[in-house]
């Protein structure tokens, strides 16, 4: 699948320069203005960089005391059932979550998985390994292949992203389990402050019924119905009602809001202690992000066409903030990876949706936010 994406999008190839002269970029990292909800301060520094600064000044000892209190209260409320639900994929974050909750805090955990039906071989092994190593009970929901294929096509046209079914399923299925089994506490991993949009010093963003719709799915299940997809098809993607959530007293937290979150260090830890495995992943230079899926390359490539950056820009920006590379080096690695066609995943995606490459690019461009419409 030959395509010169840099030429197609008129990427600036000068060393150490941002990909697009048309966009505004953070003066400290590599993130452009087109990232969702990005805010720059008077010095041109993005909120993700400011959040990273805040992270270094938080009293994490006090935050972890807050976490311990939440967990002890959950144990007291659920003496005869599971203390909490941990949504897991088998990725490095969810493996670390299980380590913290099961081995450190001795929580009785019910692990819950929304299976996007795009699991990689390494992802399956990591998931099975985690379940065995932590000896937790587990529930998984897997939508049928035909529905996933139809949703993948509808998703690109509706939100400019191939993965609505995953965004929505990760949000809805754990909520249904919480409501049906009467387990109020859901525990997620890294904080949204890791990517900006909120800061560690501000009040923690409240997890609620609509959380994943706001931050990733963008549309409710009812909005995905068309001639090929019925409301009945999407029954597991529909959220429990607000009344059901309130009656079950469901609430959620992110561990990353209560303990210092270091994805690189935690990855090395779960590899060494629990045998977690990395893998080659299209769309990034890291080998630990989204290893459980065969399709992250399509998700990230669509973001590149739609917003002018992909997963490599996110990772490079994090590495720049951490002092692992310079901003110029970050731009170079981002341009090398983000604008490379994910051949394996994209070929599969076009086959299951019946779309052409031209249709794919057109759908991504049609979903560009206002500040990305100046892109080529």
Q: What pLDDT score was predicted for residue 3?
A: 84
CA 169 from chain center: how many Å?
A: 12
Instruction: Name which of 89, 113, 109 is nearest 99 in CA terms.
Output: 109
- Left (φ > 0), alpha (ψ -120 to 50) or beta: where does 36 sit? beta
pLDDT score of 200: 65
Confidence check: pLDDT of 192 > 90: no
Percentage of the residues of the chain whose pLDDT score is greater than 90? 90
Per-residue pLDDT at 195: 73
Please report which confidence band the pLDDT of residue 226 belongs to, taking 50, 70 and 90 as the band edges: very high
Q: What is the pLDDT of residue 111?
A: 98
pLDDT surpasses 80 at 83 = yes
Asked whether residue 199 carries a pLDDT value surpassing 80, the answer given is no
Nearest to 146, CA basis, from 213, 233, 218, 225: 233
What pLDDT was estimated at residue 37? 85
The answer, yes or no, to whether residue 84 has pLDDT greater than 80, is yes
Averaged pLDDT score across all residues of the chain: 95
Is the domain covering 63-257 a CATH 3.40.50 domain? yes
Angle, CA 260 vertex, CA 304 and CA 187 arms, to 5°: 75
Between CA 289 and CA 286 the distance in angstroms is 6
Q: With cut-offs at 50, 70 and 90, classify the pLDDT of residue 105.
A: very high
pLDDT: is 2 or 188 the higher one? 188
Q: What is the pLDDT of residue 248?
A: 95
Model confidence, pTM: 0.94
Q: Could you report the per-residue pLDDT of 305-351, keeping only the tens digit for each?
A: 999 999 999 999 999 999 999 999 999 999 999 999 999 999 999 99
Every domain of the chain with CATH number 3.40.50 lies at 63-257
Please report, rounded to a whole number, the percentage of residues in the chain having pLDDT higher than 70: 97
Mean predicted confidence (pLDDT) in 92-101: 97
Neighbours of 333 (CB within 10 A): 18
pLDDT for 1 beyond 70 = no
Rounded Cα distance between 260 and 191, Å, is 10
pLDDT at 241 over 80: yes
Residue 191: band (very low, low, confident or very high) from pLDDT cuts 50, 70, 90: confident
Q: DSSP for 256-313, please give it.
A: GGTS---HHHHHHHHHHHH-------TT-S-SSSSTTBS-HHHHHHHHHHHHS--HHH
What letters, b where the CB count within 10 A reaches 16 and e where it falls short, cover 209-241? bebbbebbbbeebeebeeeebeeebbebbebbe
Averaged pLDDT for residues 368-372: 96
Query: Over the stretch 139-160, which tens digit does the pLDDT of each residue have?
Result: 999 999 999 999 999 999 999 9
pLDDT average, residue stretch 369-374: 96
| Alpha-carbon gap, residue 148 to 298, rounded angstroms | 14
Token pair belonging to 332: 């170079």
Bridge partners for 252 per DSSP: 186, 207
């Amino acid at each position: 699948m030959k395509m010169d994406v840099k030429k197609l999008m008129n990427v600036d190839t000068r060393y150490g320069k941002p990909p697009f002269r048309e966009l505004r970029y953070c003066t400290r990292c590599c993130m452009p203005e087109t990232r969702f909800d990005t805010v720059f301060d008077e010095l041109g520094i993005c909120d993700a960089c400011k959040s990273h600064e805040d992270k270094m000044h938080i009293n994490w000892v006090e935050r972890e005391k807050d976490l311990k209190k939440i967990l002890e209260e959950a144990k007291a409320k659920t003496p005869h059932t599971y203390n909490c639900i941990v949504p897991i994929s088998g990725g490095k974050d969810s493996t670390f979550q299980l380590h913290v909750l099961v081995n450190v805090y001795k929580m009785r955990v019910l692990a819950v998985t929304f299976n996007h039906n795009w699991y990689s071989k390494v992802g399956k092994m990591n998931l099975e390994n985690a379940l065995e190593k932590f000896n937790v009970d587990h529930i998984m929901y897997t939508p049928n292949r035909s529905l996933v294929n139809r949703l993948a096509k509808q998703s690109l046209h509706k939100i400019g992203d191939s993965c609505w079914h995953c965004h929505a399923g990760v949000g809805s299925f754990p909520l249904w389990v919480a409501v049906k089994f009467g387990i109020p506490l859901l525990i997620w991993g890294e904080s949204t402050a890791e990517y900006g949009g909120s800061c560690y010093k501000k009040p923690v963003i409240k997890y609620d019924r609509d959380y994943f719709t706001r931050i990733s799915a963008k549309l409710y299940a009812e909005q995905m119905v068309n001639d090929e997809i019925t409301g009945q098809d999407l029954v597991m993607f529909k959220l429990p009602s607000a009344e059901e959530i309130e009656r079950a007293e469901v609430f959620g937290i992110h561990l990353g809001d209560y303990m210092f979150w270091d994805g690189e260090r935690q990855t090395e830890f779960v590899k060494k202690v629990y045998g977690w495995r990395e893998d080659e992943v299209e769309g990034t230079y890291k080998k630990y992000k989204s290893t459980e899926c065969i399709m992250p390359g399509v998700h990230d490539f669509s973001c590149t066409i739609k917003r002018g950056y992909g997963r490599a820009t996110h990772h490079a920006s994090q590495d720049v903030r951490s002092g692992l590379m310079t901003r110029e080096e970050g731009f170079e690695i981002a341009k090398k990876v983000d604008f490379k066609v994910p051949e394996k995943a994209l070929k599969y995606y076009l086959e299951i949706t019946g779309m052409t490459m031209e249709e794919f690019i057109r759908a991504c461009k049609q979903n560009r936010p206002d500040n990305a419409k100046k892109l080529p």
